[in-house]
Structure 1
Amino acid sequence: MSRGVPVVRFDPSDVGECLSFSAWFGVSAASLAGQLRTPSRTANLEEVRAVYWRRPTWPHFEHLDHADARYAAAQVRHGLGGTLYALPNCRYVNHPLRNHAAEHKPMQLAVAERFGFTIPPTLISNDVDDVRAFIAEHDEVIYKALRWTPYQRADGVGLTTWTEPVTAAEINESVGVVPHLFQARVDKIADLRVVVVGEQVFPVRIDSGLLDWRADYDALTYQVTTLPDGMGKAFVAFLEHFGLASGSFDLALDREGRLHWLELNPNGQWGWLEVKTGLPISAAFAALLELGAAP
């Protein structure tokens, strides 16, 4: 609001008394017309210039039985969600369907290599023999999930999956149930998280001594750093390939000073980096959204 730009903030799970909308198609010169209403704001859908899509939650309709709840949730995702996906002349940061396409690690690895990034040798497989052969070929190998999913113990305590070392002795026939991602371990001295907003690139070095720095944020130290010549433009081009306006990239820095691609999170965390480093990341997002749709 300090920029004088009207904003409507809501979550899809507010649908009902706290969120209503109507969208018309094929009844005016505009491809889409309508309104979205919250208790404090109203937005004309055809006038929306930008959408910041930041990890929304969807309703679960706990008061309905299972079949009705699934049906109701699908109507919200495809009705409200589909309308938000279709806004004309709108800049998305990022468009949710583009986010979804870019979240697939096999796609990321293939595209990153085409853009000149160094990729650790990687195997995605559910073939036990191939996995054992891959581990035997490389001195040290790590496992990481292809997709994060929420877990809870019976007592409600949340669980997660960290990047972990793996040995051939730990591989058994259960590997054959689903695909797994195995990767040659980088002999790293630090990690980099690179936040890209439009054409602005914010690289931060993270020192921890941990294989997976996410496991202990209290152990981390941060330093604003620089990238090799041309790498910043490669990150921007990578995002443009997927039709994204922003993303958070993770890389490993080895003892020879080389950077190794790990992954992209198209909707990654960045707020804590601004607090720790003073980088003007939120201002970059605000400026990008204020621009509205690209010409």
Structure 2
Amino acid sequence: MTVTEERPVLVVTEADDVTADMVITELNRRSVPVVRVNPSDIGEGLTVSARFGTCPAPVVGQVRTSSRTADLAHVRTVYWRRPTWPTFPNLSDNDARFATAQVRYGLGGTLYALDGPLWVNHPLCNAAADYKPAQLAVAQRLGLTVPPTLVTNDPSEAREFIAAHDQAIYKTLRWTPYERDGVPVTGWADPVTAAEIDDSVCVTPHLFQARVNKVADVRVLVVSRQVFAVRIDSGLLDWRKDYSALSYAVMDLPARMNKALLAYLDHFGLVSGSFDLAVDQEGAYWWLELNPNGQWGWLEGETGLDMSAAFADLLTQGKTHD
């Protein structure tokens, strides 16, 4: 077992995370120690031991894997990517729910308690920023242009809203794993008409939005105070449907837009995030959404932008740039 005497970067993510692999490769190139853990490995090569109220430091202890150990009092930064939590399929339903909760609030709570290292990003900040209605309101407060949007479970309100706009779309309020006949499916941004609205809308809130007459999309990755903007041309309503149809161009955003996006992250206490914008025929920018922990790895390969190096800089220094 390797005990990292230097201050390590703690990477918390699932086993199959190509984007995290890119950052870890860059950290390894710089000889920065890394301890990678995934909560679902608890009891099978992952151990946590933490003490509270017995030492001058608020939290002392270790997180151990089969090959490495991180001293909780000396973690440099925490890169919180896409961890998975155990489901304990061999236990009864009641025991599995109980055990999963203990891991979330035991291991997760111990890590959340670390206030010395820089978090990229703290999961509680990610969670606060993950509510689309809150995103829309904050974006408008910061002067960003937001498409007319309705969140409702009232069919009459939905029909009236859709009829009031030339074209409208439906979006999920949050991505959620979903299967149909055993096959995973994804909720895209899709056109919707008033005639399609029936009483099933009553069951849960839905998000309806006026369709932007866009000519291109823009994915913006912010790392600390560095802004990477990539124009995506596709002709698709939702460009995620067909990556083979996309073309990319590195671009610079207007200074006002950069300032607003940085202020947006500051509002939620985030040091990184992936924004989706749309550009209309007049060249105006429309704010669509933020993914606090969005994917960006493929964009580095397509554009050559040093995104993984920017993350490695941030995780190594343990502080944001002014």
TM-score range, shorter chain: over 0.9
Instruction: Give the C-alpha shift of residue 162 in structure 1.
Output: 0.6
Residue aligned with 1:194, SS? strand
| Correspondence for 1:211 | 237
| Correspondence for 1:95 | 122
Q: What is the alpha-carbon distance in structure 1 between the residues aligned to residue 59 and residue 41 of structure 2?
A: 22
Q: CA 1:286/1:48 → structure 2, altered by over 3 Å: closer, same or farther? A: same
Alignment counterpart, residue 19 of structure 1, candidates 43, 46, 49: 46
Residue 185 of structure 1 pairs with residue 185 of structure 2: no
Work out the percentage of aligned pairs sharing the same amino acid: 65
Instruction: Give the C-alpha shift of residue 63 in structure 1.
Output: 0.8
Question: Which residue identity lines up with residue 258 of structure 1 in the other structure?
Answer: A
Superposed CA offset, 1:236-287 (max 9, x none)? 1110110001000001110000110100000100000000000000000111
Instruction: Give the C-alpha shift of residue 293 in structure 1.
Output: 4.9
Instruction: Give the C-alpha shift of residue 88 in structure 1.
Output: 2.8
Q: Which runs of 5+ in 2 are unaligned?
A: 1-27
Q: What is the alpha-carbon distance in structure 2 between the residues aligned to residue 223 and residue 294 of structure 1?
A: 27
Partners of 1:206 and 1:220 within 8 A in 2: yes
Residue 200 of structure 1 pairs with residue 234 of structure 2: no
Partners of 2:314 and 2:320 within 8 A in 1: no
Q: Which runs of 5+ in 1 are unaligned?
A: none
Residue aligned with 2:37, SS? coil
Question: Which residue identity lines up with residue 124 of structure 2 in the other structure?
Answer: L
Q: What is the alpha-carbon distance in structure 1 between the residues aligned to residue 112 and residue 320 of structure 2?
A: 16
Residue 35 of structure 1 pairs with residue 62 of structure 2: yes
Partners of 2:225 and 2:320 within 8 A in 1: no
Q: What is the alpha-carbon distance in structure 1 between the residues aligned to residue 305 and residue 320 of structure 2?
A: 25
Alignment counterpart, residue 185 of structure 2, candidates 137, 153, 159: 159
Q: CA 1:135/1:58 → structure 2, altered by over 3 Å: closer, same or farther? A: same
Q: What is the alpha-carbon distance in structure 1 between the residues aligned to residue 259 and residue 285 of structure 2?
A: 15
What TM-score do you get using the length of structure 1 for normalisation? 0.98
Instruction: Give the C-alpha shift of residue 107 in structure 1.
Output: 0.3
Alignment counterpart, residue 255 of structure 1, candidates 281, 296, 301: 281
State the Cα RMSD in Å: 1.1
Q: What is the alpha-carbon distance in structure 2 between the residues aligned to residue 293 and residue 206 of structure 1?
A: 31
Q: What is the alpha-carbon distance in structure 1 between the residues aligned to residue 153 and residue 316 of structure 2?
A: 46
Residue 2 of structure 1 pairs with residue 29 of structure 2: yes
Alignment counterpart, residue 111 of structure 2, candidates 78, 81, 84: 84
Residue aligned with 2:36, SS? coil
Q: What is the alpha-carbon distance in structure 2 between the residues aligned to residue 249 and residue 269 of structure 1?
A: 11
Superposed CA offset, 1:154-202 (max 9, x none)? 3x32111110011111011111111110111000111000000000000
Question: Which residue identity lines up with residue 63 of structure 1 in the other structure?
Answer: N
Residue aligned with 1:230, SS? helix
